[in-house]
Amino acid sequence: MTDYRTLRVALLGAGAVGSQVADLLLRHGDELADRAGAKLELAGIAVRNLDAKRDVDLPHDLFTTDAETLIVGSDIVIELMGGIEPARTQVLHAIASGADVVTANKALLATHGSEVFEAADQVGAEVYYEAAAAGAIPIIRPLRDSLAGDRVVRIMGIVNGTTNYILDRMDTEGADFADVLAQAQALGYAEADPTADVEGYDAAQKAAILASLAFHTTVPLDAVHREGITSVDAAMIESARHAGYVIKLLAVCERLAAENGGTESISVRVYPALVDRAHPLASVHGANNAVFVQAEAAGDLMFYGAGAGGVQTASAVLGDVVSAARRHIAGGVGVGESTRANLPAVPIGHVITRYQITLEVDDRPGVLATVAGILSEGRVSIATVEQTVIEASADAADPVAATGSSTGAGSARLVIGTHKAREQDLSETVERLAASGVVERVVSVLRVEGN
Amino acid sequence: MTDYRTLRVALLGAGAVGSQVADLLLRHGDELADRAGAKLELAGIAVRNLDAKRDVDLPHDLFTTDAETLIVGSDIVIELMGGIEPARTQVLHAIASGADVVTANKALLATHGSEVFEAADQVGAEVYYEAAAAGAIPIIRPLRDSLAGDRVVRIMGIVNGTTNYILDRMDTEGADFADVLAQAQALGYAEADPTADVEGYDAAQKAAILASLAFHTTVPLDAVHREGITSVDAAMIESARHAGYVIKLLAVCERLAAENGGTESISVRVYPALVDRAHPLASVHGANNAVFVQAEAAGDLMFYGAGAGGVQTASAVLGDVVSAARRHIAGGVGVGESTRANLPAVPIGHVITRYQITLEVDDRPGVLATVAGILSEGRVSIATVEQTVIEASADAADPVAATGSSTGAGSARLVIGTHKAREQDLSETVERLAASGVVERVVSVLRVEGN
């Protein structure tokens, strides 16, 4: 074997990902050395509890509870503890000690990314985080490097495996949210406390990271509009299917053209959206993830793969470790994060997209005209309308009932597809519809993404 | 605007890709400078004919026929001439002059890659070639960097847009090869001389590049087994559809386990193969490309996008230019190509895959038993058989005819799906079938890829 220089690697955390990273580092040492041009010596693994059960059998003498001492003198520190503290303190400690950092910690980067990257810049260290954005899917390097000469217009990502698993099961089985969530928890696809996933927090963190890279702009987490999937029910899924759509929790990162002599801006948002069944994102099933990127020159690109999982995510972490090692051997300072564009992020009200509005209305003459009038006043243009009777009325069998000109006292369901509208106009219009005498209930308002 | 250092960029070639690269460099100069940390000055464009018509209007004074002089003193040389010579000479000249090279020239890299990379290594220059493997799809960095800590097991790529367009049209329209090729030529999807595409030469070059990266091994072009799509006809497409498959021209790069105490080896091959319609590659339509990667830890990944097109490919070229510029600014030498694994490439005969064999046989008793016997002797195990009568015989209406035990003198079609078999066993067995008295014609032998 070639006589390589040895680099000291410290691992913080030995959970689902960490234990796999340690295992691969130990098992594939020679092969990784050939790729990296340096021997990667696992100096130790810092954990909270030395006796916790691990997914993989690892040499006991590698474990320590003293992360601070382990970090000192390390060339590369892999942070896989998750959460903000003590991860933040240890990462800053590693950078200050002159190490490069590899992390999969999306919460840390989405909330303290600027602090971490600035600290690294000051000492010429690099922070690698391929595993933080979409698990095993290589998306960081394509965005940062491959598309660096292009202009990203839009990203639509399925970046949370748990919610995609739940929505996919609801779609294929017609099951309701709570039932599928319980199943997912039993199978280990969802946490006991599923809030971070089902309320979109995890996806919002990833959206902030992707948007920062794509638009060369620091995107704070609170600039990301976030809605979860807890309000999605079987009826909405069925209605979406009927209209040729599937419901996906999307992370949308969008570049908005300059208006009135201003500058360009961006919108970053996470919500359950209707996606045409012919769109490549519609065929992302189970707990898989995919990131659909539209760029001015490159056109449409899609990156697909496992969004989570210990060994899958370990692949992305080790790719970063090899990159860090190569940089150590080659010398030279890192390129840092390019945030020179610094585009402003607009609030959700400024977003322009298409909508599907589902209403329960009185089934009597003039209702459709009233609804159409309110939409028109609100600058929301109707693309499609479908009305169906949902409660039997005296003349439910009368064919004119379905056109909204019945004289019965029953209810009808009105599904309205809109042309592109401004979110603020849309939500004000929906409020006026709800307050109008003719609408019994606003069943759902969903954005339609991915023309 | 920030006061950046200026890097001198020389462009060789102003065809479909080159003219778009020049246009984007000129139009997005400020934005690219912010991303690269350096001003990218297009010093000149070397062309053969100063007066040729270009896709884009470019300043006339940039053009020169003197590539050699243009190269001297350039920091980055973009080679988009295509073909082996004079591209090879100019690229080596650029490297010797101390420039980094960006190229989309798959023919050059597949045939003279080692020479080019070694020349670059010697002077510490970098060669970037994201656009050479799958057009606009970022695949080089994911393979080289993101998956550097993993072990790629298998790549299946649709890497030629022209053939995918042709096969897709044949599949959706039931049209024959020659008709669709003529249409594709009329629409500009295929060249007047389509040999490089339809005979698989283009895909073979890309397969060599992808396999080299994935397996850290120099893969010479003549180690790539190559078959084109000219023998694919409407009947084969229809038969594939009937069996739940679609025919795609695949570039398959495979890692083969060590046998009998030997070392691992690889197989690199290009041929039209049957792909299950549920496989993600089956839904790659039109002239699009996709690269499906299976890695030990990361699992299944897919990269999808435009495989060709001037402006799309220009995106990949400019990403490389920005990377080269960042490296110039940051200092440090490149990581070079990792070919330390140097796995041997095996001939096609060693490949193990599944097959679909379509035969025309005599429709009389004992034929199926004879065929099955020959397969069994040849160590080819049958997974599925479907027999249909294709010529009316005296007792064609007799239900037993369809089971091969008819006594008539007509013909039957036998479609045999095999379990995994060694290509050499398979081809020898097919020869024995052809020479046997009972087989009238071997209609087709297709490999089944995926899963």
Q: Which domains does chain A have, with CATH numbers?
A: 6-135+311-330 (3.40.50.720), 140-306 (3.30.360.10), 351-449 (3.30.70.260)
Q: Which of residues 265-284 of A touch B (CB under 8 A)?
A: 280, 283
pLDDT for A411 beyond 60 = yes
Are B63 and B14 a contacting pair, CB within 8 Å?
yes
pLDDT for A244 beyond 80 = yes
Check residue A259 and give its pLDDT: 79
| B318 with A280: Cβ contact below 8 A | no
What proportion of chain B, given as a percentage, has pLDDT over 70? Answer: 93
Nearest CB to A136: which of B136, B298, B318? B298
| B147 with A138: Cβ contact below 8 A | yes
Q: Which whole number is the average pLDDT over A256-260?
A: 83
pLDDT for A154 beyond 50 = yes
Q: Which whole number is the average pLDDT over A321-350?
A: 74
Rg (CA), chain A: 25
Active site annotation includes A206: yes
Residue A404's pLDDT band, with cuts at 50, 70 and 90, is: very low
Check residue A338 and give its pLDDT: 54
Are A299 and B136 a contacting pair, CB within 8 Å?
yes
pLDDT for A289 beyond 60 = yes
Check residue B391 and give its pLDDT: 62
Q: Which whole number is the average pLDDT over A228-239?
A: 93
Nearest CB to B34: which of A35, A150, A341? A341
Residue A35's pLDDT band, with cuts at 50, 70 and 90, is: confident
* A3 contact B CB<8A: no
| A331 with B334: Cβ contact below 8 A | no
Set of chain B residues whose Cβ sits within 8 Å of the Cβ of A334: 330
C-alpha span between A143 and B312 (Å, rounded): 15
Set of chain A residues whose Cβ sits within 8 Å of the Cβ of B34: 216, 338, 340-341
Q: Which of residues 135-174 of B touch A (CB under 8 A)?
A: 136-138, 140-142, 145-151
pLDDT for A394 beyond 80 = no
Higher pLDDT, A403 or B387: B387
Residue A315's pLDDT band, with cuts at 50, 70 and 90, is: very high
* A403 contact B CB<8A: no
Tell how many helices (H) and how many strands (E) occur in chain B. 15, 17
DSSP-assigned states of every residue in A35-63: HHTSEEEEEEEE-S-TT---SS---GGGE
* Positions of chain B with pLDDT lower than 70, given as ranges: 1-2, 331-341, 391-409, 451
Its sign, for the CA torsion B237, B238, B240, B245, is positive
C-alpha span between B45 and B30 (Å, rounded): 20
Q: Which of B4, B128, B315, B323 to mutate to test the interface with A (most CBs of A within 10 A)?
A: B315
Average per-residue pLDDT in chain A?
89
Q: Which of residues 111-140 of B touch A (CB under 8 A)?
A: 130, 136-138, 140
Nearest CB to A333: which of B299, B319, B330? B330
Nearest to A281 by CA among A314, A247, A235, A237: A247
Task: Report residue A427 as tokens.
Answer: 């939500």
Residue type, B52: A
Q: Which of A294, A335, A340 to mutate to test the interface with B (most CBs of B within 10 A)?
A: A335
Catalytic residue among A39, A106, A206, A248: A206
Check residue A339 and give its pLDDT: 58
Q: Which of residues 22-51 of B touch A (CB under 8 A)?
A: 24, 28, 31-32, 34-37
Nearest CB to A301: which of B136, B141, B338? B136
* A300 contact B CB<8A: yes
What are the φ/ψ torsions at residue B302 (nearest 5 degrees)? -140, 140
Check residue A28 and give its pLDDT: 92
Q: Which of residues 209-228 of B touch A (CB under 8 A)?
A: 216
Closest approach of A122 to chain B, Cα-based (Å): 14
* B100 contact A CB<8A: no
Nearest to A26 by CA among A47, A12, A11, A48: A11
* Pairs of CB atoms within 8 A across A/B: 201
| B146 with A149: Cβ contact below 8 A | no
Check residue B190 and give its pLDDT: 85
Nearest CB to B338: which of A35, A295, A334? A35
* B351 contact A CB<8A: no
Check residue A400 and give its pLDDT: 44
Are A359 and A414 a contacting pair, CB within 8 Å?
yes
Nearest CB to A150: which of B319, B326, B332? B319
Alpha helices by DSSP H, listed for B84-190, are: 87-96, 106-123, 131-134, 140-141, 161-173, 177-187
